[in-house]
Amino acid sequence: MSDEEKTPLYQEIASQIQLGLMGTVGKLTRQLRAIDRIAPRLKDGGLVRKITVDRDTKRRSVGLSVAHRKIGAFGGLLYGAAAVSHELITAGPDLNHGGQDSRLDVGDMTLLEADRRLSWKTYSLVYDLLEQIFEADSLPDLIVMDIPLVMGRAVYAQALDDEENDAELRREVGELRDRLHAFWEKHIDRCYPFNELGPRVVTLARSRFGSLLRLIEAQGRQISPDPIDGEVERLVREEWTQVLSVGIDRVLAGILNPDHRTAAFDREQDKRDKRAFPQSIIERGTLAFHYLTGLRGQPIQVETLGSAAHWHDRRGAEAIDQLTSDLISLTYFDHRQSVPLPLWYAQQAVQIIKKTSQGQGLLEFYKREALRAMQSELRDRAWLAGWECED
């Protein structure tokens, strides 16, 4: 036995592990049994729905993605922000690319809230592309993005709250807010579900499950346009402590199988944030749900325009099933980060803004050229010194 193994702390560690191991195993076993007891009843009560996937239907879809990068330079930052849209027409095994459009912004900025301000710049670039899409003669069936529809506190941070904040910061977020508000005031009525023939606009993110069960526990099944059984509402309320103990994500992960979606729900938190924007969307409401595709995929949260009441007027659960079917049908790869193909193409294309070769990329080139231009300017000034006043 080594000297270390003779110490009291070492011996106590060994004892605690031996004593605690069986207790931990027992606790995990009880949690798994609770999931096995609760989950099937939630599933049978309509908390998840099986989706019929039809890849033969012709679909015209557009994916939009953003990326940005920054490097330190000249006492501040140089940045590059980009957005790409990719149009795709699919029908069965046939894929026809409608082309790509892009927007790029390269420049310098201060260090103040740099990451958040870069996100604002990418959002503005996306709306340049959205303006172009909505000005076309015909609109796509589906628009898939990876930026939020509603800009809440995570986006604007303290820029609108702190009166002593930097005036430039307040100006930038104010311009973004006005831009988004003007766009949706003009175009929201052209989109589904407000226009039955309009494009369905969705944003995808990998978010946690918590909102659905929390809303059912607090407000009941009316928060969803899906037919949720009253037994689910009663079970969630009666077993709420057990659900929280096991973990909401674990409960729902246990019943969400491939080619299934959860019941949809109203996103009430946007209305509670008085500074969130654009109000054009918040006033009409947004709907969210999760779906899973493939054996290796991870659950994806979908956020789309319209409240539960609006979707109920457009065939409710059937219309949401169709939207989910379209998203799954457009997902051709089975891996953990799989997304619909038009969004995947856009994400791959926009990554060029981040790429470097041997430590050199777009921003490094921009920095060298800026430095060369400044050096040339200084040389010109030195050479011309004393000549300015000559006739």
Residue 206's region, left for phi above 0, alpha for psi from -120 to 50, else beta, is beta
Contact yes or no for 341/206 (Cβ under 8 A): no
pLDDT digits (tens, 9 = 90+) for 191-229: 999 999 999 999 999 877 778 888 888 888 888 999 999
Q: 129-153 burial, b if ≥16 CB within 10 A, otherwise e?
A: bbeebeeeeebbbbbbbbbbbbbbe
Q: Taking each helix axis as running N to C, give the angle between helix 230-238 and helix 210-219, from 0 to 180 degrees, rounded to the nearest 10.
A: 100
> What integer pLDDT is reported at residue 331 of this predicted model?
93
Rounded to whole angstroms, the Cα distance separating 46 from 226 reads: 8
Q: How far apart are CA 387 and CA 383, in angstroms?
A: 9
Per the structure, the count of domains in the chain is: 1
Q: What is the pLDDT of residue 217?
A: 87
Phi, psi angle pair for 192, to nearest 5°: -70, 140
139 and 199 Cβ atoms separated by less than 8 Å? yes
CA distance 357 to 68: 17
The whole-number pLDDT of residue 342 equals 96
Q: Is 384 part of a structural domain of the chain?
A: no
Note whether residue 288 is domain-resident: yes
The answer to whether residue 362 is domain-embedded is: no
**89 found inside a domain:** yes
Please indicate, yes or no, if residue 253 is contained in any of the structural domains: yes
Phi/psi region, residue 119 (left: phi>0; alpha: psi -120 to 50; beta: rest), is alpha
Q: Is 27 exposed, middle or buried (0-12, 13-18, 19+ CB in 10 A)?
A: exposed
d(CA 153, CA 274): 10
Do the domain assignments include residue 377?
no
Question: What is the domain range of residue 242?
Answer: 49-353
- 242-255: pLDDT as tens digits: 777 777 777 787 78
Residue 327 located in a structural domain: yes
- Please, is 377 exposed, middle or buried when counting C-beta atoms within 10 Å of its C-beta (0-12, 13-18, 19+)? exposed
Taking the C-alpha atoms of residue 177 and residue 171, their distance in angstroms, rounded to an integer, is 10
Alpha-carbon distance of 250 to 232, in angstroms, equals 17
Residue spans of the chain under pLDDT 70: 1-6, 22, 25, 27-28, 30-32, 34-35, 156-166, 378-391
> Is 267 contained in some domain?
yes
